[in-house]
């Protein structure tokens, strides 16, 4: 072992977002861990970070990297490369690939790809379904698994779990927090004619209205109370849901997305067309204001990207046959840093939402804070840098962002994964060497 005063990487002079608050100090890393803070140190590699802020490694706890089965629009390599370019050091990947991630063999196949190709740390959701409900207590504890994901709507085949009996069975089998996409499938089917008649994505939030979201959210929270299972409700998008969920925080954690905090209907649909189409939909300013209030008052626990790319050709299909989803992991942090600069939230609050919050909720070992002994996953950001989002810089093979051309203030300068500098000044460095995330 090297002497205590010698390290592999030293970040000097940054404003460090410590658990006790921001402080201008040095952080030393060795053998993948933080070994010292604020001491007199030397290192093989030193980063002069004066004028910058050092955050715990950002966690994007909702991404769809499409591999296996749909690699024409995303891969684990490109998705994680985009993540580190955006300052993200860990990702949770979703099970709606081809094949679906429902069995141990499906999970292991993804891990095998990630072991070779992932630039950042990774974990994968197992899909919760009628077909595997009784196996979920074992599956959710497998190495590399971040938990169970349930689609109450907006899915198909074995991954769609829209009946109370199936949902109850999933919730009764296992203990870890279950991630939920809550839209009422029966209501969506009954109202699809609204979208078909309009034949324009401006109808997307009318078709998939607030009641479609609230009905499903009420159902799953009731079932969670019945079964005693903790929930993580993904991409909450309505004022009505937030008003309901504030009374259920003892069992339920809440995610919102930068898309819902940044874009508003109907303007986004008129400007972007189907590029603004996602599920649940972008809604009007009344709902966005309620989401920001929930961010401020603590109802919201996590911000994730819901990175879900499709090619431009796919998105140009006539609505509503056009697929829902957009890129997001590479722009997650810049969008939110811009909101910090706009005064909509503090940097300390953002750190809790994208670093400490996911680690705390999901029991990520060694992640989420800058403390001696924790993993050396770190994100260095420049709060003063102004730059426009540029489709040409996206890692995703889909090649587009709903935010292309938007001027943002606040960008990542460097990404450090396991003590290794993997991104500096918009360039990836070295080769993929992400690790499977461990959970307590």
pLDDT tens digits for range 149-201: 999 987 767 888 889 999 999 999 999 999 999 999 999 999 999 999 999 99
* Count of other CB atoms within 10 angstroms of residue 259: 23
In this structure, what token pair is assigned to residue 316?
């140009």
119 Cβ contact list (under 8 Å, min separation 6): 77, 80, 81, 83, 84, 417, 422, 428, 432, 433, 434
- The answer to whether 258 and 237 have CB atoms below 8 angstroms apart is no
Three-class DSSP category at 139: helix
How many Å apart are CA 69 and CA 100, to the nearest integer?
9
Residue 360 parent element (H or E): helix 357-362
Tell me what the pLDDT averaged over the chain comes to.
96
Tokens of 80: 């994680």
What DSSP element (H or E) covers 76?
helix 76-85
Q: Where are the alpha helices (DSSP H) in 267-308?
A: 267-272, 285-297
Q: Where are the domains of the chain?
A: 57-362
> Of the given ranges (27-41, 110-124, 329-343), which has the lowest mean pLDDT?
27-41
Segment 68-91, tens digit of pLDDT: 999 999 999 999 999 999 999 999
Which helix (DSSP H) or strand (DSSP E) does residue 361 occupy?
Answer: helix 357-362
Give the pLDDT score at 4: 44
The single residue listed with the structure tokens 């069995």 is 103
pTM beyond cutoff 0.85: yes
The CA-to-CA distance between both ends of the chain, in Å, stands at 27
Q: What tens digit of pLDDT does each residue of 114-158 get?
A: 999 999 999 999 999 999 999 999 999 999 999 999 999 877 678
Radius of gyration of the chain (CA): 21
- The Cα–Cα gap between 390 and 401 comes to 8
Determine the pLDDT at residue 1: 28
Instruction: Give the tens place of pLDDT for each residue, 378-392.
Output: 999 999 999 999 999
Give per-residue pLDDT as tens, 258-287.
999 999 999 999 999 999 999 999 999 999
- Give the orientation angle of helix 185-198 with respect to helix 210-227, to 10 degrees: 170
Q: Is the pLDDT of residue 217 over 60?
A: yes
Query: What is d(CA 300, CA 344) in angstroms, rounded to the nearest whole number?
Result: 14
Rounded to an integer, what distance in angstroms lies between the CA atom of residue 357 and that of residue 368?
A: 7
pLDDT confidence tier of residue 7, bands split at 50, 70 and 90? low
Q: Quick one: pLDDT at residue 51? A: 98
Q: How confident is the model at residue 2 (pLDDT cuts 50, 70, 90)?
A: very low
> Residue 222 and residue 248: Cα distance in Å, rounded?
10
Pair type for strands 121-127 and 145-151: parallel
What is the full DSSP assignment across 87-102?
TEEEEEE-S-SSS-S-
* Assigned architecture for domain 57-362: Alpha-Beta Barrel (3.20)
Mention every residue, 6+ apart, whose C-beta is less than 8 A from residue 48: 12, 13
pLDDT of 3 above 70: no
């Amino acid at each position: 072992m090297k002497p205590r005063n010698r390290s592999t990487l030293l970040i000097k002079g940054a404003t460090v977002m410590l658990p006790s608050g921001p402080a201008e100090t040095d952080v030393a890393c060795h053998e993948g861990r933080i070994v010292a803070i604020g001491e007199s140190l030397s290192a093989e590699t030193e980063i002069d970070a004066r004028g910058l802020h050092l955050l715990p490694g950002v966690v994007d706890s909702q991404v769809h990297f499409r591999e296996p089965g749909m690699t024409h629009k995303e891969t684990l390599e490109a998705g994680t490369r985009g993540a580190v370019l955006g300052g993200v050091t860990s990702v949770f990947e979703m099970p709606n690939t081809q094949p679906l991630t429902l069995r141990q063999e499906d999970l292991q196949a993804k891990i095998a790809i990630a072991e070779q190709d992932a630039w950042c740390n990774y974990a994968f959701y197992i899909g919760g379904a009628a077909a595997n409900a009784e196996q979920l207590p074992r599956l959710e504890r497998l190495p590399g698994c971040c938990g169970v994901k349930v689609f109450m709507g907006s899915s198909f085949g074995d991954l769609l779990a829209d009946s109370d009996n199936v949902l109850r069975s999933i919730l009764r089998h296992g203990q870890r927090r279950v991630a939920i996409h809550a839209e009422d499938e029966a209501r969506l089917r009954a109202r699809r004619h609204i979208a078909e008649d309009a034949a324009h994505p401006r109808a997307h939030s009318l078709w998939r209205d607030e009641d479609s979201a609230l009905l499903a959210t009420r159902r799953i929270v009731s079932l969670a109370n019945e079964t005693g299972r903790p929930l993580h409700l993904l991409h909450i998008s309505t004022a009505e849901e937030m008003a309901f969920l504030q009374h259920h925080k003892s069992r339920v954690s809440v995610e919102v997305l930068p898309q819902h905090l940044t874009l508003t209907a109907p303007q986004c649909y008129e400007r972007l067309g189907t590029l603004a189409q996602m599920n649940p939909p972008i809604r009007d300013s009344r709902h966005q204001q309620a989401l920001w209030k929930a961010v401020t008052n603590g109802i919201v626990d996590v911000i994730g990207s819901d990175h879900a790319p499709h090619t431009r050709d796919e998105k140009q299909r006539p609505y509503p046959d056009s697929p829902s989803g957009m890129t997001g992991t590479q722009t997650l942090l810049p969008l939110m840093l811009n909101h910090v600069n706009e005064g909509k939230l503090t940097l300390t609050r953002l750190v809790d939402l994208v670093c400490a919050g996911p680690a705390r909720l999901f029991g990520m070992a060694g992640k989420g804070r800058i403390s001696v002994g924790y993993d050396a996953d770190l994100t260095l950001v420049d709060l003063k840098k102004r730059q426009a989002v540029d489709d040409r810089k996206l890692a995703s093979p889909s090649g587009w962002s709903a935010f292309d051309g938007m001027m943002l203030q606040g960008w990542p300068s460097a990404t450090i994964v396991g003590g290794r500098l993997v991104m500096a000044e918009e360039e990836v460095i070295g080769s993929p060497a992400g690790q499977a995330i461990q959970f307590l």
